[in-house]
Structure 1
Amino acid sequence: MKKQLLLGDEAIAQGAIDGGLSGIYAYPGTPSTEIMEFIQGSKLAEDKKIHRQWSTNEKTAMESALGMSYTGKRAMVCFKHVGLNVAADPFMNASITGVNGGLIVVSADDPSMHSSQNEQDSRFYAKFAMIPVLEPSNQQEAYEMAFSGFELSERFNVPVMLRITTRMAHSRAGVATKTANNQNELHLPTNPRQFVLLPAIARKNYKLLLGTQAHMEAASEVSPFNKYFEAPNKKLGIIATGISYNYLMECFPEFNCPYPVLKVCQYPLPRKMVEKIYNECDSLLILEDGYPLVEEMLKGFINTTKPIHGRLDGFLPRDGELNPNLVAKALGVEMIEGQPVPELVKQRPPSLCVGCGHRDVYEDLNEAMLEYGAGRVFADIGCYTLGALAPFNAINTTVDMGASITMAKGAADAGLVPSIAIIGDSTFTHSGMTGLLDAVLENSPITVIISDNSTTGMTGGQRSAALGRIEQICTGLGVDPKHIRVMDPLKKNHEENVRIMKEEFAYNGVSVLIPRRECIQTFARRKREEKKEN
């Protein structure tokens, strides 16, 4: 065994490689992005010929991973928590089809919404799908769960969710690695109808899934990731899930917590362990980084008469990340804190990079919109979302990937004409194309601005599936080529770009504007690489 200093994301990536991975599928989204990037940069993954290309969106990634599992190979799919919403259809049905080769679904949650629209907890999806969940408390466990998760998946013939949160994904620790497994040999399902979800077959598969639930729970009871720690003071029992166990241990530097602790890092909940701590203790405190899933379950899990504390009753905040100080406060433990950091400079919100083409697009757009007034610009998820802030204050909505076009269409249907949608090139191919087709089918009076910086900029400059093909896609969807117009978003072209925008805003139908300028960050990176080569 050798030890490496790894982010939680990197530990998962290395664990998957060593666990016999044949293919990883993902769409970039913080805090999950580094899993794919680590495997893309791994010499070992290259030598093993592991498939490691970005997918167009999370749904296509989930389906591709399921396709690799169909062949008997081991696959992993990765996305952030809101990406699981996009992948929900194949994710839910994959628990009914079952797997052939092991399949791990990594969902990276973002409590406190550091870079997300919500705080949703992916464990609810896994409970809904009735599949096991692995939730590491540290980077070593993240590695081991990725390594062994394939075997767990194959044992129960279902996908396994590996759920992490932002702190786990983006903090480092030493990780001891194992001897790598060989990849599975190609072998097709023994039941040729396993993956055919006609109702008659799906009903049989569903009964099989229901029949494995007791076995999954039994596996949780003996899982090395679930541990019961005895202690003398039975006035309180603590159930700590995932990284919250780490936060608990930080409150007791010598690992001398006076209360019994049940560490839960594999689900379904180990019922016998839960009943043991409930029966032994006068009250319970539930620590979980995310929604109060375990706390809610316990209130229907046992015939509870004793107090159960957590996020639901105010012992812990209902929103935001858990941390050691919040845990200490709930336990009445004194924490030594340093002096507050002086506010030497005023905090500033994030802003578009100097030299970013989106800046010029918003300056053009704001001037072109003056005659129509505010409230007509529907935006999307990407760097350009920062156009909602000063000095631009240019956009009125940001809801989910692809919603700009469909919301603009709905507003136009209601009589708000013109309605403007602004979307990035990567987001357009992720989930904007179908919305544009809807608009084309009705020739809706909307203008779609696809602000093309030739990359997936917000998550670090990954390959954009739209690169070099936006015009052809729009034409293929039925947009009139006369109303597909490419623009050069530079200050010297400001007057011309405003004129083009005004012309298309006045058009009574679907038009697409494509302001195209390479992301300033990927441009600088490309120039540095070219300089090295020369």
Structure 2
Amino acid sequence: MENNKLLLLGDQAIALGAIHAGISGVYAYPGTPSTEITEYIQESPLAKERGVHSRWCTNEKTAMEAALGVSYVGKRALVCMKHVGMNVCADAFVNSAITGVNGGIVVVAADDPSMHSSQNEQDSRFYGKFAMIPILEPSSQQEAYDMMGYAFELSESKKLPVLMRIVTRLAHSRAAVAVRNAANETACTGRASVPTDWILLPANARQRYKEVIKVQPELIKLAEETSYNALSVTVGGTAEKGIIACGIGYNYVMENYPDGCPYPLLKIAQYPLPAEKITRLAHACKEILVVEDGQPFVEEQLKGVLPSTYIVKGRLSGELPRTGELNPDNVKAALGIAGAQVYAAAQNVVPRPPALCNGCGHRDVYDALNRVAAGYPDAKIFGDIGCYTLGALPPFRALDSCVDMGASITMAKGAADAGLFPAIAVIGDSTFTHSGMTGLLDAVNDQSNITVIISDNLTTAMTGGQDSAGTNKFEAICLGLGVEPEHVRVVVPLPKNMEEITRIIREEIEYKGVSVIIPRRECMQTLNRKLKQKRAEKK
């Protein structure tokens, strides 16, 4: 630390800003690129000193609901997830706008344009607009840090949760961040003045919905007035083009204009859209280029703000690529800067696709599954989200599906309902507790003819080895859900046990009902870290 500055990832800047804003807890499920926010708080001496809750939640829905409980008693809570986690918490998230908040709630959604580690490129700003709550989109690590205190104040002043949307490049890049003196930061300690707001019976919900509608003009006014939405126009002239730059897109624009942007420019980092500023920008130029990372969220809305004849360019018009993340090069090309070059993928580099680690227990699971499935011409193996999804790639090519968290069990059930035999589901330990348990209950209630493999490596391995919510509980969970005790089997996935594992898989496939096999062996990465730590402690 020098001159009150720290070198921080975007995720870390958000975490430190939240600590300094006086949060009582962070509630999250690990998911790239959001994971480091919670990990920073878990390791922060100041957060430990203040007793900030920071244990991982079972899934994003439970995280959002726990944060609502914190808010109800007048304290501040941070909720973190990757963009697809917004789908999981959507019920609680959207309804939190109807209940409103007491203590501030900030929900951080880390989007992943280009799908570096995700199934889709969805843009979380649509969720904020759908719920009719304020959205913040920082353009830099410094702004991410500064926005946290502002976000909690905004949440409490308008009695609404606030959505902060970031993207992978901001989350996982570092910059020097000037930090405040945390000693002056305190948490909100109020109490709910209208408890019925939190009881969403239709009569209460209808009244609260009117309140949410009523506050919308105030949110638009704030977006017009905030310094985070900065408009720069030249008085008395009409430029050839103007630029709207959203979030990290502003950084990419300014990287191409280090001496200052020569065109009228509107930087947007707070939503709803500032329609008045957009109109002023349009009057100062002949056309507008929208630079936004993700989907054409702003570009589409401009059609309702500006005349239909006004020229708006961006992802929809083809000036910027319709898919994938922005970068300084494709923004440079869209700006029409001479010499712009968008670099293609290297042609002479041997590809290195991801692969399961050497010695990983999942390898032995797929080896056994492939051996058994070869004896069943119609066998389908339904996969799930986790590092074991790599079983879809060579050399195993073992999976026939991968859709979303927890889908393996319910898809196997549906296929069995349609007459498929055998229907096999492969799911990881953390994913099973995240969203697989309800699917297993459905299968038990329907007496579905499926075989479920819960590949237990005793950690949430894909995101860095965080604690798994169900460790040492899976047999009890399966029995509690109604799986017959004799059809809950545990094996140790090692080559020397291959004969036993394949025998058990065949036996359970032939059982006409729900069976669960739990191959259990610790992740090689977490095991190596533990051994390294033990060796260090002995020195």
**Pairwise TM-score range, normalised by the shorter structure:** over 0.9
Match of 1:14 in 2: 16
Distance 1:219 1:342, change over 3 A: closer
What's 1:191 paired with? 194
Q: Check 1:340–1:192 CA distance in 2 against 1; reply closer, same or farther (3 A cut).
A: closer
1:184 offset after TM fit, Å? 2.6
Q: Which whole-Å deviations, capped at 9, do the CAs of 1:378-408 have from their partners, x for residues lacking one?
A: 0100010000000000000000000000000
Deviation at 1:22, TM superposition (A): 0.9
Q: Quick check: 2:22–2:185 contact (8 Å CA) kept in 1? A: yes
CA contact (8 A) 2:379 2:422 kept: no
Structure 1 position 249 matched with structure 2 position 251: no
1:56-205 equivalences in 2 (<5 Å): 56-180=58-182, 181-184=184-187, 186-205=189-208
Are positions 1:271 and 2:279 aligned together?
no
1:233, distance to aligned residue in structure 2 (A):
6.0
Q: Does 1:236 align with 2:256?
A: no
The 1:342–1:29 alpha-carbon spacing in structure 2 relative to 1, beyond 3 Å, is closer
Question: TM-score normalized by structure 2?
Answer: 0.97
Give the distance between the partners of 1:42 and 1:374, measured in 2 at CA: 52
Residue 272 of structure 1 deviates from its aligned partner by 1.0
Q: Alignment partner of 2:94: what SS?
A: helix
Alignment match of 2:292 (pick from 281, 285, 288): 288
In 2, distance between residues paired with 1:26 and 1:501? 35
- 1:337 and 1:329 map into 2 onto residues whose CA distance is 7
Q: Is the 8 A contact 2:423 2:450 kept in 1?
A: yes
- State TM-score, norm by structure 1: 0.98
Residue 454 of structure 2 corresponds to residue 450 of structure 1: yes
- AA aligned to 1:87 is C
Q: CA deviation at 1:189?
A: 0.3
Matches within 5 A, 1:335-374: 335=339, 345-373=349-377
Q: Is the 8 A contact 1:251 1:335 kept in 2?
A: no
- SS where residue 454 of structure 2 aligns? strand
Question: Structure 1 residues 339 and 311 mapped into 2: Cα distance closer, same or farther (>3 Å)?
Answer: closer
Following superposition, the deviation at residue 471 of structure 1 comes to: 0.2
Two-structure CA RMSD over aligned residues (Å): 1.5
SS in 2 for 1:193: helix
> What whole-Å deviation, never above 9, does each CA across 1:453-474 have from its counterpart, x for those lacking one?
0000000000000111000000
Q: Distance in 2 between matches of 1:163 and 1:342?
A: 31
The Cα shift of 1:327 comes to 1.1
C-alpha separation between the residues in 2 aligned to 1:184 and 1:43? 17
Q: Distance in 2 between matches of 1:489 and 1:347?
A: 29
Show the counterpart of 1:216: 219
| Alpha-carbon distance between aligned partners in 1 of 2:369 and 2:44, rounded to the nearest angstrom | 43
Equivalent residues of 1:325, 1:335 under 8 A apart = no
CA contact (8 A) 1:73 1:183 kept: no
Out of 1, 4, 7, which is 1:2 matched to?
4
Which consecutive residues of structure 2, in runs of 5 or more, have no partner in the other structure? none
Q: Is the 8 A contact 1:113 1:119 kept in 2?
A: yes
Where structure 1 has 5 or more consecutive residues not aligned to the other structure, the ranges are none
Q: Would the alpha carbon gap of residues 514 and 341 (structure 1) be closer, same or farther in structure 2, given more than 3 Å must change?
A: closer
SS of 1:351's partner is coil
Aligned residue for 2:434? 430
1:466 aligns with 2:460: no
Q: What per-residue deviation string (whole Å, max 9, x for no partner) do you get for residues 464-489 of structure 1? A: 00111000000000000100000010
Instruction: Report the more deviating stretch, 172-181 or 132-141.
Output: 172-181
Percent identity over the alignment is 59
Which shows bigger deviation, 490-499 or 230-239? 230-239
CA contact (8 A) 1:233 1:258 kept: no
1:395/1:374 CA distance change after superposition, 3 Å:
farther
**1:294-324 Cα distance to aligned partner (Å, 9 max, x none):** 1110101233322111111111111110111
Aligned mate of 1:405, from 388, 396, 409:
409
**Paired residue total:** 533
Deviations 1:113-136 (A, max 9, x none): 000000000000000000000100
